[in-house]
Structure 1
Amino acid sequence: MDSTAEDLASYLVQQLKLKAVGERLLVAIAGVPASGKSTLAELVVAKINALLAADSATHPTSAILVGLDGWHLTRAQLDAMPDPRLAHDRRGAHWTFDGPSYVEFAKLLRQPATAVITAPSFDHAMKDPTPHAVSIYPSHRLVVIEGAQLMDERWWVQVGLEEARRRLVKRHVLTGVAKDMEEAIWRAGQNDEPNGKFIAENLYQPTRIIESLDDPKYTL
């Protein structure tokens, strides 16, 4: 996965040089749950920043990763839905996110990079979003985030259904999301796989398709 991330990082650094001063390069990395998109995004951003730091002509330009989890609806908002139990069980489905707020954030990124923009993050201990937790500075001229039509680059991480299911079940058990293997299998089949199907069926046309790699060096 390192070599893939290095190639992608080099490509993005070159694309950034084609942007006018003050414009950001926006990159969306999407994929079904357990495709490895988050791991890939972290690696690409780290390698981009290493390249930019070594290039005196672009310093202090840098890249930043903004996760989509910050736009989860709060537990209180889920509780207020017609079927709260279903809402909590399906947390992560498209209808459990604050889509309009995310789109407004993406529009802000499209404006000239002259002011600080904040984004929410997600507190896994509290199991709720934390507003204004991430700061995107004017020097952050390359932003990697999850899908939106407003992005310059839209990458899709491709993985087979059986492989994604295997990774999901393993992840749910290891992270404690599921109390046992039976619950992990249920969550993978009843929540993650329907979410992945919706994402795949409603995907904006990708500019690049990347084959997922099950690299043992990295956690799922």
Structure 2
Amino acid sequence: MDSEQIRELASDLIRQLQSIDDQRRIIIAMAGIPGSGKTFLSNQLQQEVNRQASSNICAVLPLDGFHLSLQQLQALPNAKEALNRRGAHWTFDGAGFVSTLQAIRQQSSSTVLAPTFDHAVGDPVANAIAVEPHHRVIIAEGLYLHVENEQPWSSIQSIIDQTWWVQPQNPQLAQQRLVMRHVQAGLAASEEEALLRIQHNDGLNAAFVEQTRCQPTRIIYN
């Protein structure tokens, strides 16, 4: 996606904001398969909305911060599988994410704190993100935000305003992004090992997302 498309998306969000009550927020749920570029896109869009508005009105809520910690995964009865499959929908605190999103919707005059994910230590960091009252555009992003028929994920649909699906135009490029990410994060020692990880984990997650996702409000080709 080029910078002009980012500008157009940001302009559209600002126009929508101008047409609603001052106390109401626009909440977008952005999803896509692993490597689709949704995290990069959400951050670029946040910067562009804030630039056009000349104010810090847009915040991003990543699902990444709601990973179960390594300690929590190790305490599960299927700990070995959970550690190997980290990133699958059942290795997240989905209920915690939904609860946080609900608070952002209902408590527009209060600060809502949310976790982020520290890739250096491989664990979430509590209360690292602050959604403030002046944040009127919220971009929630993550793999499972469009899951339609499985709780707690399906509860997201009643909270948010729009669902944006990020569709990779080049599947090979999406896979290469994942390979580089795994190597750089230390999750794989080589590209070959990263490809195996994708086959046995990310690929399964992508299939789950594709099979369970809702019809999106908007498709963004990236």
Same-fold call, TM cutoff 0.5: yes
In structure 2, relative to structure 1, the CA distance for the partners of 1:85 and 1:209 (3 Å cut) is same
1:2 aligns with 2:11: no
In structure 2, relative to structure 1, the CA distance for the partners of 1:62 and 1:182 (3 Å cut) is same
In structure 2, relative to structure 1, the CA distance for the partners of 1:125 and 1:175 (3 Å cut) is closer
Aligned position for 1:85: 80
CA distance in 1, matches of 2:56, 2:5: 22
1:66 aligns with 2:61: yes
Q: Shift in Å at residue 131 of structure 1?
A: 1.3
CA distance in 2, matches of 1:141, 1:83: 41
**Deviation readout 1:125-162 (Å, 9 max, x if unpaired):** 22111111111110001111122312112100112544
CA distance in 2, matches of 1:88, 1:126: 15
Q: Specify which of 185, 190, 204 is matched with residue 195 of structure 2.
A: 185
Aligned position for 1:215: none
In structure 2, relative to structure 1, the CA distance for the partners of 1:139 and 1:180 (3 Å cut) is same
Q: Which amino acid aligns with 1:16?
A: L
Q: Specify which of 136, 140, 153 is matched with residue 162 of structure 2.
A: 153
Aligned position for 2:205: 195
CA distance in 1, matches of 2:167, 2:118: 28
**Deviation readout 1:31-56 (Å, 9 max, x if unpaired):** 00100111111111100000111xxx
Q: Shift in Å at residue 61 of structure 1?
A: 5.7
**Deviation readout 1:67-117 (Å, 9 max, x if unpaired):** 111100011111011221211111111000001111111111211511111
CA distance in 2, matches of 1:35, 1:210: 10
Structure 1 gaps, min length 5: 54-59, 213-220
Q: Which amino acid aligns with 1:131?
A: A
Q: Shift in Å at residue 181 of structure 1?
A: 2.0
Partner SS, residue 64 of structure 1:
strand
User: Is the 1:61–1:141 Cα contact (8 Å) retained in structure 2?
Assistant: no
Q: Shift in Å at residue 205 of structure 1?
A: 2.2
Q: Specify which of 131, 137, 141 is matched with residue 142 of structure 1.
A: 137
Alignment of 1:28-107 (within 5 A): 28-53=29-54, 60=55, 62-107=57-102
User: Is the 1:31–1:156 Cα contact (8 Å) retained in structure 2?
Assistant: yes
Coordinate RMSD, CA, aligned: 1.5
User: Is the 1:22–1:112 Cα contact (8 Å) retained in structure 2?
Assistant: no
User: Is the 2:61–2:139 Cα contact (8 Å) retained in structure 1?
Assistant: yes
Partner SS, residue 27 of structure 1:
strand
CA distance in 1, matches of 2:43, 2:96: 23
CA distance in 1, matches of 2:196, 2:136: 41
